[in-house]
């Protein structure tokens, strides 16, 4: 069965053309997020609060239980080492080639004039995109990454799967004629495409740096995270705009989106400007913690679409835990 599946993938790859990447809609999505977030902040603060009651007391109890669960899982997530490299692992250049082919295939399959409103033609034009994402997932499952990309490979798989789920949600909301769900799932899908594009191209152009150059890269990324006020808000229980009662507010949606963007930028930089062998262990730990923080904000974003308070609380706690870990990793690399 595995041989037959691999043969099908290889036959499809032989027939495909690798086209230059199409432009992304990320700028438009970011602009819309800023507009919605600013609109939310302009409203009276008290209007966004909901009455306290039995539901919020239950939510508080839920957070305590989740905190215990996340704390127990913290060491396992943080120190589990996924970097063992089997003998059949791909070379760096071979892995970069596969990632390049897959991201270009997704880019070239996009049709930005279709499936953008309930009045446009959908979902038939989206099928090529969905097929390209499934092909990417298959390629990843049939290959073993080199050690440099062991962590990011897992996270790319996660984002490809999430992009498939988001696109299917777009199709479902189109069929249901649900404008709000259509807009929200479409925005999430575009953000997944933006993440995959940015991080994949960091993999494609990844080069190993000297120790001094890598320290300079990490110093710059420390400043990127320090400038992320939304990250600080999410990681601070006393300052956050994202209580369970406000998880679907414009302000909270903006905080999650901008935190996701900041984590994405740092992770992409760390992958593109790879650490020297002497710093590989520290770099691997930083990448793992960034990946888990990224997963936390992704979980929050997904829960905002569905109103799932339990999932949102789990993602929030996960982000809080690993935001601290990321900053500790950076301090260790910088020697302070």
Q: Encoding tokens for residue 289?
A: 């913690």
Q: Encoding tokens for residue 73?
A: 């899982």
- Per-residue pLDDT of 266-317, as tens digits, reads 999 999 999 999 999 999 999 999 999 999 999 999 899 889 999 999 999 9
Q: Is 154 exposed, middle or buried (0-12, 13-18, 19+ CB in 10 A)?
A: middle
Q: Tokens 């063992």 appear where?
A: 84
pLDDT at position 124 is 76
Q: Which of 318, 333, 321 is nearest to 285 (CA)?
A: 333
Exposure string (b/e) for 242-273, b if CB count within 10 Å is 16 or more? bbbbbbbbbbbbbbbbbbbbbbbbbbbbbbbb
- What span, in angstroms and rounded, lies between the C-alpha atoms of 188 and 195? 11
Q: Which of 38, 283, 40, 244 is nearest to 152 (CA)?
A: 283
312: number of CA atoms within 13 Å, CB side?
A: 21
Q: Tokens 């609380």 appear where?
A: 313
Which residues have CB under 8 Å from 295's CB, separation 6+?
155, 158, 315, 318
User: Which residues on neighbouring strands pair with residue 273, listed in sequence order?
Assistant: 207
- What span, in angstroms and rounded, lies between the C-alpha atoms of 252 and 242? 5
User: Which residues on neighbouring strands pair with residue 52, listed in sequence order?
Assistant: none
Q: How much of the chain is helix, strand and coil, in % rounded to 5? A: 75, 0, 20
The most distant pair of C-alpha atoms in the chain lies apart, rounded to whole Å, by: 61
pLDDT at position 46 is 36
- SS3 of 273, please? strand
pLDDT at position 209 is 95
User: Which domains does the chain carry?
Assistant: 89-205 (1.20.1440), 208-336 (1.20.120)
- Residue 85 per-residue DSSP state: -
Q: Encoding tokens for residue 236?
A: 């601070």
Per-residue pLDDT of the chain (336 residues; tens, 9 = 90+): 444 444 444 444 443 433 334 333 445 445 555 555 555 544 443 333 233 444 444 445 444 444 444 444 444 444 444 444 444 789 999 999 999 999 999 999 988 777 888 888 887 778 899 999 999 999 999 999 999 999 999 999 999 999 999 999 999 999 999 998 999 889 889 989 999 999 999 999 999 999 999 999 999 999 999 999 999 989 887 667 888 888 989 999 899 999 999 999 999 999 999 999 999 999 999 999 999 999 999 999 989 988 999 999 999 999 999 999 999 999 999 985
- Residue 208 has φ and ψ, to the nearest 5°, of -80, 135
- What span, in angstroms and rounded, lies between the C-alpha atoms of 318 and 296? 5
């Amino acid at each position: 069965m595995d041989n037959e599946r691999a043969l099908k993938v290889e036959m499809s790859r032989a027939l495909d053309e690798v086209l230059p990447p199409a432009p992304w809609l990320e700028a438009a999505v970011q602009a819309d997020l800023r507009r919605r977030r600013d609109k939310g902040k302009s409203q009276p603060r008290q209007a966004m609060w909901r009455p306290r009651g039995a539901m919020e007391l239950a939510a508080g109890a839920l957070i305590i239980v989740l905190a215990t669960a996340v704390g127990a899982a913290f060491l396992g997530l943080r120190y589990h080492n996924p970097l063992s490299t089997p003998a059949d692992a791909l070379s760096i250049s071979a892995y970069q080639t596969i990632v390049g082919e897959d991201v270009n295939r997704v880019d070239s399959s996009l049709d930005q004039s279709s499936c953008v409103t309930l009045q446009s033609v959908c979902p038939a034009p989206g099928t090529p995109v969905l097929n390209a994402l499934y092909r990417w997932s298959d390629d990843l499952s049939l290959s073993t990454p080199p050690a440099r990309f062991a962590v990011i490979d897992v996270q790319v798989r996660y984002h490809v799967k999430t992009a498939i789920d988001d696109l299917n949600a777009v199709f479902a909301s189109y069929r249901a004629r649900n404008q709000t769900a259509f807009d929200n799932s479409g925005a999430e899908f575009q953000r997944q495409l933006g993440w995959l594009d940015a991080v994949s191209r960091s993999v494609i152009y990844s080069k190993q740096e000297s120790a001094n150059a890598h320290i300079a890269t990490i110093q710059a990324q420390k400043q990127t995270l320090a400038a992320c006020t939304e990250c600080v808000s999410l990681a601070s229980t006393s300052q956050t705009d994202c209580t369970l009662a406000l998880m679907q507010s414009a302000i909270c949606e903006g905080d999650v989106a901008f935190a996701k963007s900041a984590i994405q930028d740092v992770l992409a930089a760390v992958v593109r400007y790879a650490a020297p062998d002497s710093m590989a262990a520290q770099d691997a730990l930083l990448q793992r913690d960034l990946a888990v923080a990224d997963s936390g904000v992704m979980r929050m974003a997904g829960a905002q679409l569905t109103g799932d308070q339990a999932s949102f609380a789990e993602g929030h706690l996960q982000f809080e835990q690993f935001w601290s870990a990321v900053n500790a990793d950076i301090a260790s690399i910088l020697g302070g």
